[in-house]
């Protein structure tokens, strides 16, 4: 086993660090926290089909990086076939969100909160992945954030069966709905000015309490990346936006300025703050980050 680990660290990790623009200090994070997590996930393996592991973290906490690390490590060390899904790739199309905005509340036109994802589509893909047989290939959808719409099928990602591990990452994966009383007081200017009667946040909470929970109930384990504060999340999200601008084909369309970002992050603020207060207690593995974006602890949650 150590030979496979050494090979992964030598052949796979450098490429990951380059693709994700990670600092040299990430090597320590990988050895101290991420590789032990890989072992803990491996220990969950059963004969009941592929594992489904959720990854939750606020914007900029490193969910995608962790998911790619876990995929590469499980494939390299254990010979698994791992599929990675992001809930971001299951946003409703732009036209579907516009209709939701007309029928329910205008704020649903903006992707982000529960209610703006195609949960039926996500459920169908999870079903298909769990049953994917040898010789079968499934194309996983992708969402183009630059155009704010689902990417064409020609750019979707293939995964071949059978699958041993499914990683489902996203900022609201495993999140719990709030009590109705908690929805009354706005948490920011967006809610106060554009949702004064709480229709938008109440409906988002109802979506989270119903169709989303049916998906989260399927998880075999949940990993939670905990940021030190909401202010840190805002700063990291800005850094993430700058990284996106360097890789996007149309940088001008992809990047938001600070005012645009400040408004955009308010769509996520309520549930993000709720997660920071509650989700560690309902997660299986909790990775704690400091203000410098470094993982400083990996604790067992409810397991």
Domain ranges of the chain: 52-63+82-300
Please give the mean pLDDT across all residues of the chain: 92
Closest CA to 276 of 172, 122, 184: 172
Going by pLDDT thresholds of 50, 70 and 90, the confidence category of residue 202 is very high
User: Could you give the angle at which helices 230-247 and 258-278 cross, rounded to 10 degrees?
Assistant: 130
Task: Return the exposure string of 82-113: e unless at least 16 CB atoms fall within 10 Å of the residue's CB, then b.
Answer: bbbbbbbbbbbeeebbeebbeebbebbbbbbb
CB atoms within 10 A of CB 25: 12
CATH of the domain spanning 52-63+82-300, picked from 3.40.50.10800, 3.30.70.20, 3.40.50.300, 1.10.150.450: 3.40.50.300
Q: Average pLDDT, stretch 4-30?
A: 92
Return d(Cα 163, Cα 243) in angstroms, integer.
31
What would the pLDDT profile of 52-80 be if each residue is shown by its tens digit?
999 999 988 999 999 999 999 999 999 99
Going by pLDDT thresholds of 50, 70 and 90, the confidence category of residue 287 is very high
Q: What is the 3-state secondary structure (H, E, C) of 217-232?
A: CCCCEEEEEECCCHHH
Please give the pLDDT value at position 249: 52
Phi, psi of 50, deg, nearest 5: -65, 145
What would the pLDDT profile of 250-281 be if each residue is shown by its tens digit?
444 456 777 888 899 999 999 999 999 999 99
Please give the pLDDT value at position 243: 65
Please give the pLDDT value at position 301: 61
What would the pLDDT profile of 164-197 be if each residue is shown by its tens digit?
999 999 999 999 999 999 999 999 999 999 999 9
């Amino acid at each position: 086993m150590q030979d496979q680990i050494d090979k992964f660290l030598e052949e796979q990790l450098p490429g990951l660090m380059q693709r994700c623009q990670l600092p040299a200090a990430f090597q320590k994070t990988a050895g101290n926290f991420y590789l032990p997590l890989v072992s803990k996930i491996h220990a969950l393996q059963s004969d009941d089909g592929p594992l489904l592991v959720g990854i939750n973290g606020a914007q900029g906490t490193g969910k995608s990086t962790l998911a790619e690390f876990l995929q590469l490590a499980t494939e390299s060390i254990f010979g698994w076939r791992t599929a990675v899904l992001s809930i971001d790739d299951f946003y409703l199309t732009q036209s579907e969100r516009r209709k939701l905005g007309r029928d329910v509340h205008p704020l649903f036109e903006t992707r982000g909160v529960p209610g703006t994802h195609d949960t039926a589509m996500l459920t169908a893909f999870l079903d298909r992945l769990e049953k994917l047989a040898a010789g079968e290939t499934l194309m996983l959808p992708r969402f183009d954030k630059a155009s704010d719409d689902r990417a064409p099928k020609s750019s979707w990602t293939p995964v071949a069966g059978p699958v041993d591990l499914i990683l489902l990452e996203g900022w609201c994966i495993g999140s719990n709905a709030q009590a109705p009383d908690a929805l009354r007081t706005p948490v920011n200017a967006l809610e106060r000015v554009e949702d004064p009667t709480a229709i938008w946040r109440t409906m988002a909470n109802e979506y989270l309490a119903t169709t989303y929970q049916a998906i989260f109930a399927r998880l075999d384990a949940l990993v939670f990346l905990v940021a030190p504060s909401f202010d840190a999340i805002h700063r990291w999200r800005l850094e993430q936006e700058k990284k996106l601008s360097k890789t996007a084909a149309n940088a001008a369309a992809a990047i938001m300025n600070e005012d645009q970002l400040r408004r955009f992050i308010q769509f996520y603020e309520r549930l993000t703050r709720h997660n920071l207060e509650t989700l560690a207690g309902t997660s299986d593995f909790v990775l704690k980050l400091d203000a410098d974006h470094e993982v400083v602890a990996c604790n067992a949650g409810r397991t």
